[in-house]
Amino acid sequence: MDDSDILHDIHKQSFYHAWDETVFASFLADPQISGFIVSPEGKPGKVLGFVLCRLVIDEAEIITIAVHPRFRQKGLGKKLLDAVFRYLYQQRAKVLFLEVDENNSAALALYKGLGFHEVGRRPGYYKTDKGHSDALIMRRTIQQKD
């Protein structure tokens, strides 16, 4: 099933510059990219949120994560990231990276609470309705090195 239209819809409600359906279709076709969705119980076709991650050898990155605005602040982002952590642990990934807008306080609180820490910054990376803001590059260990 191609969920690119559903992912695009949630993404455009979550980000100032949303990716179009063709971008999501290419992500979903990429064998290095894994996706996880969260649905309400008993309604498997309805998507409340999603996360896409890319794994290359033993390093992974969150490409994007989004929860529909009506369902935020209910622990769905944490649930999605927990699924990613379990998957990456099974795949023997060592670290997980992501980038986040420095002004996204809800996302920063979630990521810091899950053990991510800042390792870099991209000045002026995100275009927002108020101008530009920095992207914070964050890292979390999945498994200790052997």
What are the structural domains, with CATH classification, of the chain? Answer: 4-141 (3.40.630.30)
The reported pLDDT for the residue numbered 58 is 94
> What is the arithmetic mean of pLDDT over 36-57?
88
What's the DSSP call for residue 105? H
The whole-angstrom separation of Cα 83 and Cα 67 is 15
The reported pLDDT for the residue numbered 18 is 78
Q: Please, which residues have CB within 8 angstroms of residue 55's CB and are 6 or more apart in sequence?
A: 32, 34, 88, 91, 93
> What is the arithmetic mean of pLDDT over 59-78?
94
Tokens of 70: 């009506």
The whole-angstrom separation of Cα 99 and Cα 121 is 9
Tokens of 88: 């990456």
Helix (H) or strand (E) holding 39: none
3-class DSSP assignment, residue 75? coil
Q: Is the model's pLDDT at 76 over the cut of 90?
A: yes
**Cβ pair 83, 51 in contact under 8 A:** yes
Q: Please, which residues have CB within 8 angstroms of residue 99's CB and are 6 or more apart in sequence?
A: 122, 125, 135, 136, 137, 138
- Measure CA 59 to chain center: 15
What's the DSSP call for residue 99? E
As separate numbers, helices (DSSP H) first and strands (DSSP E) second, the chain gives 4, 6
Q: Is the model's pLDDT at 1 over the cut of 50?
A: no
> What is the arithmetic mean of pLDDT over 136-144?
91
